[in-house]
Amino acid sequence: MTPALYRSYCHVPAVMRRLCAAQLCSWVAVMSFILFYTDFVGEGLYQGEPSAPPGTAARLRYDEGIRMGSLGLFLQCATSTFFSLVMSRLVRRLGSRWVYLSSMASFTLSAAVICVSNSVLLVTLMSALTGYAYATLQTLPYTLTCHYHKEKELYMAKRNPKSVHTSGVKRDPPHGTAGYAEAGLNGHAYFGPGGSDFYTSPSGQSGSSKGPAGPGGAAPEEGGGFEKRGVGLDFAILDSTFLLSQVFPTLFMGLIVQLVQSVTAYMACSVVFGCLAVGLANRIVFEQRDLKT
């Protein structure tokens, strides 16, 4: 790792730190659910025994629970696909803040219902609803990252962001309900206010946002008042939260289940981290006025 890249990892802008903290807790909540949901249904809901000999009643109940849990995860994927298709419309109509908070709140509520319910139908419906949060985490944080890089002088300022001015006039970012970039997981094109293309990466490679063209069509040099970092690096940091969310549950979840002697601990951990995610999501910078908090 080069010294410049190492410094970029160590000196993450405040807006990205807030986003990554919320993203990490959100992913830990979601992955704790996804990784252990089928086992929870087989052991907790169907009262099966995974270690029972094949053909016994306990093993048959566990196998049936695994099949029903797989159905719940399939419905989660279907719900996630639907919300991914309408995500841009939801953001334009309701705003990024409402979409993020409502998705994690609905996930936390669904996991809490699954913890206390003995109804197979209700548990399956709640598992399908968690697809909303999965779709949001796959798209919205990357959209916000593009927005931060579009307005670096506002969101990645090294000094107090309240004092950031351009040509003596304080710049206001686009409104939260319509000004965010349209972004996908794999890059391609990202669009700013009014549909202007400000970042293109045909294969998801690292790149930096382009400022207004100067005389002769050349882009001006970035000033020293904000962090000089490419959007691809911050995409990689967001991706690392997803990868860590798969490591953490596998490290501590088995110990917790052994201590409490109940697989309900799987869903309880999802509820706890979902609550943490909702709290941290309130600190995410969605628009300029959030910099003052």
Q: In this predicted model, what pLDDT tens digit does every residue of 85-109 receive, in sequence order?
A: 999 999 999 999 999 999 999 999 9
Establish if 114 belongs to a structural domain: yes
More confident residue, 154 or 179: 154
Residue 43 has pLDDT above 60, yes or no: yes
Contact 183, 235 (CB under 8 A): no
Establish if 82 belongs to a structural domain: yes
Burial track 73-92 (b if 16+ CB lie within 10 A, e otherwise): bebbeebbeebbeebeebbe
For CA atoms 149, 153, 158, 160, the dihedral sign is negative
Share of the chain above pLDDT 70, in %: 71
Cα separation, 275 vs 163, in Å, equals: 34
Q: The pTM is what?
A: 0.72
Within a 10 A sphere around the Cβ of 4, how many other Cβ atoms? Answer: 9
List of long-range contacts for 120-125, beta carbons under 8 Å, 24+ apart? 120/45, 120/68, 123/41, 123/45, 123/72, 124/68, 124/71, 124/72, 124/75
Which domain, by its residues, includes 92? 14-163+174-215+225-292
Q: What is the mean pLDDT of residues 98-122?
A: 95
pLDDT in tens, 253-288: 888 888 888 899 999 999 999 999 999 999 998 887
The candidate with the shortest Cα–Cα distance to 140, out of 100, 177, 167, is 100
Q: Please count the structural domains in the chain.
A: 1
Establish if 127 belongs to a structural domain: yes
Establish if 168 belongs to a structural domain: no
More confident residue, 183 or 237: 237
How many angstroms separate the most distant Cα atoms in the chain?
79
Q: What is the mean pLDDT of residues 69-87?
A: 96
Establish if 264 belongs to a structural domain: yes
Contact 101, 278 (CB under 8 A): yes
Which pLDDT score, from 0 to 100, does residue 289 have?
A: 78
Establish if 130 belongs to a structural domain: yes
Which pLDDT score, from 0 to 100, does residue 121 have?
A: 95
Q: Directed axis angle between helix 264-281 and helix 231-260, to 10°?
A: 140
Establish if 126 belongs to a structural domain: yes
Q: What is the CATH number of the domain that holds 198?
A: 1.20.1250.20
Establish if 48 belongs to a structural domain: yes
Within a 10 A sphere around the Cβ of 170, how many other Cβ atoms? Answer: 11
Q: What are the phi and psi torsion angles at 208 (to 5°)?
A: -120, 155
